[in-house]
Amino acid sequence: MGLIYLETGRFTIRQWKLDDVEQLHKIMADSRVHTFTGDEPWSLERTERYIQLILDKNFQTLEVFHGACVLKNSGILVGLTGLNPYLPRQPELEWQLGVPFWGNGYATEIGKAVIQKAFETTDIERIYAMANPQNKASMRALEKIGMTCLGLREFRGHQDMFFCIERGKALLSNM
């Protein structure tokens, strides 16, 4: 199955496989997934390149990684999550889930688990997340996982709401 980064009650967050291309493409080709990201729907070729790039990087820890979010009970791929380089020992949390999986608390469950496991297994000091200010659902999820809103800031050429959680706060609250 490949490397498993972490598990939750409903999910296995694991290393990508080339077999994931079709399922991920179905998710990322839907323009609604990109409503608040400024990105375009993914072509099959872009999806293949993404998975191959991630496999080539061969992430072994949660300091920086991108993983497949797979429902344990069905084996269905629902999206991706990861920690992207942002500042030294302060990555950016990301997730993108397929539209059929919105509104089920999946982002909250995945986000909590990534934060908790990253703080437990790395020397990361804090984790940031950014959300389009119109994306109310993502901002609610970020607050539910214990992140503090820092307000609007420029990120990659546009204004996003910034959120942050520090190691001490996350470990004290035991998420």
pLDDT tens for each residue of 72-103: 999 999 999 999 999 999 999 999 999 999 99
Question: What pLDDT score does 145 carry?
Answer: 96
Q: In the chain, at which residue ranges do the beta strands (DSSP E only) sit?
A: 4-7, 11-14, 65-71, 77-87, 90-97, 126-131, 148-155, 158-166
Structure confidence at residue 171 (pLDDT): 53
Q: Is the pLDDT of residue 175 over 60?
A: no
Domain extents in the chain: 4-173
Which two tokens mark 158? 């546009």
Q: Which two tokens stand for residue 167?
A: 């190691």
**Is the pTM for the entire model greater than 0.85?**
yes
Flag whether pLDDT at 7 surpasses 70. yes
Reported as a single tens digit per residue, the pLDDT across 97-146 is 999 999 999 999 999 999 999 999 999 999 999 999 999 999 999 999 99
Q: What is the pLDDT of residues 44-71, one digit of tens each?
A: 999 999 999 999 999 988 889 999 999 9
Residue 89's pLDDT is 93
What order of strands is seen across the sheet that includes strand 65-71? 4-7, 11-14, 65-71, 77-87, 90-97, 126-131, 158-166, 148-155
pLDDT in tens, 13-39: 999 999 999 999 999 999 999 999 889
Domain 4-173, CATH among 3.40.920.10, 3.40.190.10, 3.40.630.30, 3.40.1160.10:
3.40.630.30
Three-state DSSP at 66 gives strand
User: Regarding predicted confidence, which is higher, 85 or 169?
Assistant: 85
Contact, 138 vs 144, CB < 8 A?
no
Looking at per-residue pLDDT, the higher value among 2 and 153 belongs to: 153
